[in-house]
Structure 1
């Protein structure tokens, strides 16, 4: 048996175990074909020395915004995917966003296919953002989407141009029950936010910092409880995206203990950044706009600690970047919220960049040391294997096992990187002009990234060595339930009561 490539002299980390040193990975025809000891070499086998570093699966970032109309100064697929592979992510799932006025989703999906085709350094898929889920879309077009490999949708409970009412959400959940697509939800109470925003504006409180005041945790808490109730009523799995509130997270945890299939996601900004970052400086009173995102950065270090607990105890299924960048030094970017000397957080595009820094930030806290916050296996689950399962890529992406795509990240031996890496905008590969994690130190960084067995990132020798044509569209299957199960009864309802109307 001849291998195209063998990765040797590393410590392999899978979703379930840390393998003994000396075990090698054999790659043939872009796939992992063997994991074992003393793999046979031929004169044509390329040998990659991991130098004693950890080897993890390529990251699966299941929540990125590339080339979206509402982020005109953000990343396109070229710059965003380039940034992804430099940070060890080999698969991204971006969004194809339906406009509220559109009565079909077919043109918007085609538009995003055009924007991504032959423009990506890594593999990619799409979620469909539904803002106008007409009966025709749910009855006929969603089946077509699933056949085309788009097997997940995102719903908004806030943002006027995008939000759905409860009745519309229920219609989508009932379609998901029938068709089996995965439903993601942005859970914040829109009316609470609108009331506070209007009153803050009347009082002249419009600087970026007041973005955090306008979206209190209770808005996330209420909407989280509500969407869990809607999902329980319809007996449908959901994933609540970018969670930031301890109480909201406890709603999820409680639902999971009742075996409800409620999944949750959090992001780096909710582990590392506080609302004080929204305040300006003496040099630039508007600089806090760089960290405007929704849900907003929270106020207290205890809020960060709560998210870390959810990372460690299994409440969170997925750790994504929610990479949604806009340039700061641009009239069409973050500075849409600055008219002369007048600041208006309402007009600041929401979102922060993070696809490149996601893996290094979390990896810094993974390991066997006493100060680690999660195991190496848990790191792989959160960043690779569980998002792959959730979104229909299990068996293809997200793990180091026979038959999977040879998407591999080789980290530095920590002895070779004793001082770690300081995150600096000047060293990153995205297409925007700042990072909210500027100056933070991480203990490691991907030394090499392989996409389907091809080296696409070599930090010590050229950086990005892949090609913009490397990335392929992924036709995904239906996602799997990672926590809980369907088929449960609702408290207070008779056994089988749902059968009368489902």
Structure 2
């Protein structure tokens, strides 16, 4: 290969994939990795990694951007600001949700979501579907056709009145996944238990944000996780239990995996770095910032989640970025009012901080290996949702999505982040690393100080069938 073969060469990289760590130069041409080796020829642009760790760009397989909401609620981040924030935190592929509302066709939801995304993204993206109205037409025509067209994953809710499906409907949708080779993601919380508890709390005047956690104790996640596993076992189909928060749900997943069931699991930073106390220790409204579902648990529970990341129980580590401003009538204060916890929009921001949090406290903190970090944040999400090996690895032929890590002390401050949310729940946390460079399909989009826009260059990716194989937790 001659000296003019590369658009970009990253030299002296400590390359980390899900399986290997090795020293190499990385040669990039036309947005793809075309050569790995030592002493590569010159590139039109060169970056000296100087022995620093280089990982594949992150794949955030669970985030919400510009998702249609019932007024006055509105997400703070669309595809432009969301993918800007993602890139500055080392994420080069996002998979948000095209959400069907009851009475709406799934096809119409997908078309609307494309309109929201077109020409906006700085990094590549795919879509999950959200199925909330599984009509006979959806089950027999729309969903199978969309799976064939590259929308090979969808989310099922067991809670939220406007989204939830009953067990019979879940079985119907899981059967479509089995027949057509799709991945079903399940939000596992028992809706009836939550409603019963919420009414009792309201009757007692306990409506401050901190009581959100009281309305969703671990047992409502445990029961729904058990039920989701049972429904999947009946249909004989793999499922992904998303944003797993509690040790009781973890036990259900360990049982299922131990019995050979094809159950995968995802968790998120809020279950490692936040606790129920972040929702408030008094009746202050400040706790609304950290309302998400399932809610954060206690300090002891954080260790259970860390252990699941280390031993293989968890398949994927996602942000579940759901961006609502705190001090805004379209955000955590609906209509400008401090409202009961039932009416506070659920979700916290986290696209930009996901990778630095796990790299710093997981890898540099000695809790997980560097290769496991890559597996959780990039390779497994790409495999689970049909984007591997184009995404999720550093290999010849893969997209040149790369992160060069700078191991230095960083304190998380919202004013330095690039989303459109007016707070971060991780304010003040001291980290030991941040991306020095983020490269998206061969272009530097973040250089450690400045964001380099490539709005509209982020492409929609049609997904293949999932390639993730079921495994068992390692001892």
Q: TM-score range by the shorter chain?
A: over 0.9
* 3-state secondary structure, aligned to 1:221: helix
Rounded to whole Å, the distance in 2 between the matches of 1:198 and 1:337 is 23
Counterpart among 2, 6, 18 of residue 9 in structure 2: 6
Rounded to whole Å, the distance in 2 between the matches of 1:216 and 1:359 is 28
Partner residue, 1:77? 79
Partner residue, 1:398? 392
Task: Map residues 482-497 of structure 1 onto 2, 5 A cutoff.
Answer: 482-484=469-471
Deviations 1:410-466 (A, max 9, x none): 111x3xx2xx10000000000110000000011000011111111111123xx1113
Q: Could you say if the C-alpha distance between residues 468 and 280 of structure 1 is closer, same or farther in structure 2, counting changes exceeding 3 Å?
A: farther
- The answer on whether the counterparts of 1:386 and 1:482 sit within 8 Å (CA) in structure 2 is no
Partner residue, 1:361? 357
Task: Map residues 197-346 of structure 1 onto 2, 5 A cutoff.
Answer: 197-279=198-280, 285-298=284-297, 300-336=298-334, 339=337, 343-346=339-342
- The answer on whether the counterparts of 1:337 and 1:345 sit within 8 Å (CA) in structure 2 is no
Rounded to whole Å, the distance in 2 between the matches of 1:305 and 1:322 is 20
Partner residue, 1:492? none
Partner residue, 2:144? 143
Partner residue, 2:466? 479
Rounded to whole Å, the distance in 2 between the matches of 1:319 and 1:292 is 19
In structure 1, stretches of 5+ residues that fail to align are 486-502
- The answer on whether the counterparts of 2:75 and 2:322 sit within 8 Å (CA) in structure 1 is no
Partner residue, 1:488? none
Partner residue, 1:459? 448
* 3-state secondary structure, aligned to 1:10: strand
Residues 1:383 and 2:377 aligned together: yes
Rounded to whole Å, the distance in 1 between the matches of 2:107 and 2:453 is 31
Which stretch shifts more, 251-260 or 200-209? 251-260
Rounded to whole Å, the distance in 1 between the matches of 2:31 and 2:19 is 23
- The answer on whether the counterparts of 1:74 and 1:327 sit within 8 Å (CA) in structure 2 is yes
Residues 1:445 and 2:448 aligned together: no
Q: Could you say if the C-alpha distance between residues 285 and 430 of structure 1 is closer, same or farther in structure 2, counting changes exceeding 3 Å?
A: same
- The answer on whether the counterparts of 1:7 and 1:25 sit within 8 Å (CA) in structure 2 is yes
Total equivalences in the alignment: 466
- The answer on whether the counterparts of 1:386 and 1:398 sit within 8 Å (CA) in structure 2 is yes
Moved >6 Å (runs of 4+): none
* 3-state secondary structure, aligned to 1:426: helix
| CA deviation after TM superposition for structure 1 residue 481, in Å | 3.2
Partner residue, 2:126? 125
Rounded to whole Å, the distance in 2 between the matches of 1:359 and 1:171 is 36
- The answer on whether the counterparts of 1:124 and 1:473 sit within 8 Å (CA) in structure 2 is yes
Rounded to whole Å, the distance in 2 between the matches of 1:464 and 1:226 is 45
- The answer on whether the counterparts of 2:380 and 2:468 sit within 8 Å (CA) in structure 1 is no
Partner residue, 1:50? 49
| CA deviation after TM superposition for structure 1 residue 136, in Å | 1.1
| CA deviation after TM superposition for structure 1 residue 45, in Å | 3.2
* 3-state secondary structure, aligned to 2:321: coil
Partner residue, 2:182? 181
- The answer on whether the counterparts of 2:144 and 2:176 sit within 8 Å (CA) in structure 1 is no
| CA deviation after TM superposition for structure 1 residue 484, in Å | 4.1
Counterpart among 314, 318, 343 of residue 347 in structure 1: 343
Partner residue, 2:20? 17
Deviations 1:179-232 (A, max 9, x none): 111100000011110000000000000000000000000000000011001111
- The answer on whether the counterparts of 1:78 and 1:120 sit within 8 Å (CA) in structure 2 is yes
In structure 2, stretches of 5+ residues that fail to align are none
Partner residue, 1:38? 39
